[in-house]
């Protein structure tokens, strides 16, 4: 068989291995239908043939999928050794034989529902009344949001900068400068407390810095390290931007930048 044909055959076999492992994992099939020794022999047999990066990636993917199946096999053995293990066929058979009433009666013996209370308190009623009193009628509120008629005219770039519609520098330039500042301020540890980085003498400036930091993180210039129990957040700059697009496990982190938090931080800095 020519080397080209042999390579093609090897690729097809590896793809079949990957598909089999994936279907076992995704469809909760019995992991023992996969003969590990057999697959390892296939992987070994074709490994010397691979030269191109795509071929090596395929080989690595097959090994990775195989390791997932081995983990499933290990979990299966662990589960069988616990007291919760029941043969699904045996249980299915038993469920089919019992009547609905019998099943429900059995279930309530193992069921301890959560207890909750629902009650309005005079305090919450008073709060709600206060809110209602301060609430403007709908027509007044809607009138406030209606458009004001203005004469159409031209604005200069300076005027737009003054009104903060345009920035003096291009946003990307400003972001890069901010990133450089972060890199300089992190020190040897490679990170800095979030509030120490965004905090400024002026509250408005603090908000602006928090806003810029959120872009640093979103655009992959930096990341956040969050210690929920200690309620501490650190900012860590990356050496090169690492875009988050397409990455798994990306999440939003809401951080309150209230005046109270800013005051507390400022008092803490002053000692």
Partner 1 sequence: MAEVEGRRPRLKRKALYSRKVKRAAQLLFYRRHLKPGVKGWELRKSLGSDYPRVVKILDSYLEKLDLQVKTVFEEEKAPEKPTLADLDRARFYVTLREGLASRESKLMGWRIDDIAGLAIAISYVISKKGRAPREEVEELLRSKLPGWRVDMNLGRYIRYGYLGEDEGGQLYLDWRTRAEVDQETLINLLLGTETSAQGQRENEPE
Which CB sits closer to partner 1, 26 or 202? 26
For partner 1, what does the binding mask look like between residues 6 and 45, x meaning CB under 8 A? --------------------xxx-----------------
Q: Does 140 interact with partner 1 (rule: CB under 8 A)? A: no
Question: Do 268 and 202 touch, CB atoms closer than 8 A?
Answer: no
Q: Is 226 helix (H, G, I), strand (E, B) or coil?
A: strand
Q: Does 79 interact with partner 1 (rule: CB under 8 A)? A: yes
CB of 116 to partner 1, least distance (A): 5
CB of 27 to partner 1, least distance (A): 6
CB of 263 to partner 1, least distance (A): 20
Return the axis-axis angle of helices 203-218 and 171-185, rounded to nearest 10°.
Answer: 100
Q: Does 115 interact with partner 1 (rule: CB under 8 A)? A: yes
Rounded CA-CA distance 219/213 in Å is 10
Which CB sits closer to partner 1, 97 or 144? 97
Which CB sits closer to partner 1, 125 or 170? 125
The helix (run of H) or strand (run of E) holding residue 236 is strand 232-237
Q: Is 31 helix (H, G, I), strand (E, B) or coil?
A: helix
Question: Do 69 and 21 touch, CB atoms closer than 8 A?
Answer: yes
Q: Does 74 interact with partner 1 (rule: CB under 8 A)? A: no
Which CB sits closer to partner 1, 96 or 149? 96
Question: Do 240 and 202 touch, CB atoms closer than 8 A?
Answer: no
Question: Do 192 and 235 touch, CB atoms closer than 8 A?
Answer: yes
Q: Does 228 interact with partner 1 (rule: CB under 8 A)? A: yes
Which CB sits closer to partner 1, 82 or 145? 82
Out of 37, 51, 116, 239, the only residue in the binding site for partner 1 (CB under 8 A) is: 116
Among candidates 193, 194, 195, 186, which has minimal Cα distance to 263? Answer: 195
Which CB sits closer to partner 1, 87 or 159? 87
Among candidates 231, 237, 235, 236, which has minimal Cα distance to 256? Answer: 231
Rounded CA-CA distance 1/181 in Å is 62
Q: Does 246 interact with partner 1 (rule: CB under 8 A)? A: no
Cα-flanking dihedrals φ and ψ of residue 264, to 5°? -60, -45
Out of 94, 157, 162, 169, the only residue in the binding site for partner 1 (CB under 8 A) is: 94
CB of 57 to partner 1, least distance (A): 24
Q: Is 222 helix (H, G, I), strand (E, B) or coil?
A: strand
Out of 52, 229, 245, 250, the only residue in the binding site for partner 1 (CB under 8 A) is: 229
Q: Is 232 helix (H, G, I), strand (E, B) or coil?
A: strand
Which CB sits closer to partner 1, 107 or 147? 107
Cα-flanking dihedrals φ and ψ of residue 233, to 5°? -130, 135
Judged by the rule CB under 8 A, the positions of this chain that interact with partner 1 are 26-28, 75-76, 79, 83-84, 86-88, 90-92, 94-98, 100-119, 228-229
């Amino acid at each position: 068989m020519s080397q080209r044909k042999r390579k093609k055959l090897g690729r097809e076999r590896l793809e079949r291995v990957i598909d089999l492992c994936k279907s076992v994992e995704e469809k909760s099939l019995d992991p023992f239908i996969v003969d590990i020794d057999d697959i390892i022999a296939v992987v070994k047999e074709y490994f010397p043939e691979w030269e191109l990066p795509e071929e090596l990636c395929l080989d690595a993917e097959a090994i990775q999928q195989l390791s997932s199946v081995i983990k499933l096999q290990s979990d299966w053995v662990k589960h069988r050794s616990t007291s919760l293990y029941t043969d699904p066929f045996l249980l299915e058979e038993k469920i089919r034989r019992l009547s609905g009433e019998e099943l429900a009666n059995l279930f309530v013996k193992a069921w301890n529902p959560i207890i909750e209370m629902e009650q309005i308190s005079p305090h919450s009623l008073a709060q709600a009344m206060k809110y209602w009193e301060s609430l403007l009628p709908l027509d007044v509120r809607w009138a406030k949001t209606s458009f004001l008629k203005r004469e159409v005219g031209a604005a200069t770039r300076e005027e737009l900068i003054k009104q903060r519609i345009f920035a003096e520098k291009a946003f990307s330039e400003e972001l890069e400068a901010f990133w450089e500042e972060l890199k300089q301020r992190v020190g040897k540890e490679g990170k800095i407390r979030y509030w120490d980085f965004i905090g400024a003498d002026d509250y408005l400036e603090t908000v602006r810095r928090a806003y810029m930091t959120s872009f640093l993180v979103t655009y992959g210039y930096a990341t956040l390290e969050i210690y929920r129990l200690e309620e501490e957040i650190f900012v860590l700059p990356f050496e090169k931007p690492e875009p988050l697009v397409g990455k798994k496990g990306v999440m939003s982190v809401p951080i309150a930048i209230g005046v109270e938090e800013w005051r507390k931080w400022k008092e803490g800095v002053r000692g």
